[in-house]
Structure 1
Amino acid sequence: MKRLLLSLSLALPLLASAQQLTVSAAASLTDAFKEIAPKFEAARPGATLRFNFAASGVLLQQIAQGAPVDVFASADQETMNRGVDQKVIAVDTRRDFAANTLVLVTPAQGAPAIATLIDLKKPEVKRIAVGKVASVPVGRYTQQALGSAQLWSALSPKLVFADNVRQVLDYVARGEVEAGFVYRTDAELARGKVAIAMTVGGHAPVTYPVAVVADSRQAALARDFVTFLGGAEAQAVLARYGFGKP
């Protein structure tokens, strides 16, 4: 019994030092965040990062419904603003940590020639993948861009809505659609499968805010992660994946 108690007493400090941080992040951050994770864990011994990647709107809904999340990283300001309005975000921890660019992509092989948004009206362009406007930030950026070009209504019959930006990318890469709107960082990951037809303007700046979730049980560690994202080590990883500074 004494030996068992001694073993438990030795193990308790180790258990107490082990901290798991759950980060809900926009799907476009998947690859960069997976590379950032071991760097943060090395800088915070005993800390373990667990990720949940999906569309920003879906992630916010999960948080609002009580999902045990510590940090939320969104692909747009609008979704984070909703989190503030719903009082699920610790407002004083909110920081912008990355920027991106909206691009139009086509399948790498056999795609119709597209040089401008007007070309999307061509009859050979039958399907265009976009993110769901209600929950996927890239969908809202796309709607703004096409709205600015006065093309949203005209192209609506061709639109195929996806659950997140990576699904848009998959639709294009597999040739299931003739074109799609994604972030440049996603397009770069699929080089050889998709081609960037053009950079798209006419929308709000694509900036990524991050914040601690109000009900986080690891608030101090969550703040550390938010700070870490703005540091040189994490910024270097984000830059390698094509993200810019906000």
Structure 2
Amino acid sequence: MKRLLLTLSLAALPLLAPAQTLTVSAAASLTDAFKEIGARFEAARPGIQLRFNFAASGLLLQQIVQGAPVDVFASADPETLNRGVEQKLLVADTRRDFASNSLVLVTPAQGAPAIAALADLARPEVRRIAVGKVASVPAGRYAWQALEGAQLWAGLQPKLVFADNVRQVLDYVSRGEAEAGLVYRTDATLAKDKVRIVLTVGGHAPVTYPAAVVADSRQPAAARDFVAFLASGEAQGILARYGFGKP
């Protein structure tokens, strides 16, 4: 009798469906904001578990090209996401611009040479300048546009130290391994005790962040929900706290 009652009790328990895992590949500069946004998204949708992959936007797109199981791609620039759409790797009608940023010139908080303008990067006491790799890191491409426009890129070539993503640029400067670097304002703000923002850099395309659903997503409905959630008041409030602007 006891065994029968136990069996009936267990049968009455609701069946727990396994959580859907949603993989989001996002630009390195989104790391902190997206972790918080992800927690809020999961809380509102108990059946979904997010898994993040943060790196340079160009590298993330290449991973998708190679067949990595990704559901959502969030880029630090429109150009990289546009390539994904053109290659039919991303679903065009799910594209949404959800944030903006600005490029800044930073120096170590202590012991840095006096720099007041981009032209000062040519001074001899500035020996190393950290920037993202132009081919794969949007921040590196923005840096190239700004320095090329100021007719400084060619002359600064011997000083340039190329990083795999914008967070690595920040690390080089914060550790004093480079006298200057070009990063996003949001990243510089997170390390405000280690780096100093010298100036906001212009002369480049607007820094806009778009996201889209990956064409081969195994969870297309949940992926669309996450992209839509990025435009919600809750997600936009988190992005604003981390220094991102409206798209």
TM over 0.5: same fold? yes
- The corresponding residue for 2:141 is 140
Which residue identity lines up with residue 49 of structure 1 in the other structure?
L
Q: Counterparts of 1:66 and 1:211 in 2: how far apart (Å)?
A: 16
TM-score between both structures, scaled by the size of structure 2: 0.95
Q: Counterparts of 2:141 and 2:40 in 1: how far apart (Å)?
A: 32
- The corresponding residue for 1:78 is 79
Question: CA-atom RMSD, angstroms?
Answer: 1.8
Q: Counterparts of 1:227 and 1:10 in 2: how far apart (Å)?
A: 34
Q: Counterparts of 2:66 and 2:86 in 1: how far apart (Å)?
A: 14
Unaligned runs of 5+ in 1: none
TM-score between both structures, scaled by the size of structure 1: 0.95
Q: Counterparts of 2:212 and 2:220 in 1: how far apart (Å)?
A: 11
Q: Counterparts of 1:87 and 1:14 in 2: how far apart (Å)?
A: 36
Unaligned runs of 5+ in 2: none
- The corresponding residue for 2:132 is 131
Which residue identity lines up with residue 107 of structure 1 in the other structure?
P
1:14 CA drift (Å):
2.0
1:192 CA drift (Å):
1.1
Runs of 4+ in 1 over 4 A off after TM superposition: 6-11
Q: Deviations over 1:178-222 (max 9, x none)?
A: 000000000000011000010000000000000000000100000
Q: Deviations over 1:68-92 (max 9, x none)?
A: 0000000001100110111100000
- The corresponding residue for 2:16 is 14
Highest Rg: 1 or 2?
2
Question: How many equivalent pairs are there?
Answer: 244
Report the secondary structure of 1:187's partner residue: helix
Q: Percent identity?
A: 76
1:107/1:45 Cα in 2 relative to 1: closer, same or farther (>3 Å)? Answer: same
1:108 CA drift (Å):
0.2
Report the secondary structure of 1:15's partner residue: coil
- The corresponding residue for 1:121 is 122
Q: Counterparts of 1:128 and 1:75 in 2: how far apart (Å)?
A: 21
1:10 CA drift (Å):
6.1
- The corresponding residue for 1:185 is 186
Q: Deviations over 1:50-104 (max 9, x none)?
A: 0000000000000111000000000001100110111100000000000000000
- 1:215-234 matches, cutoff 5 A: 215-234=216-235
Q: Counterparts of 1:84 and 1:46 in 2: how far apart (Å)?
A: 29
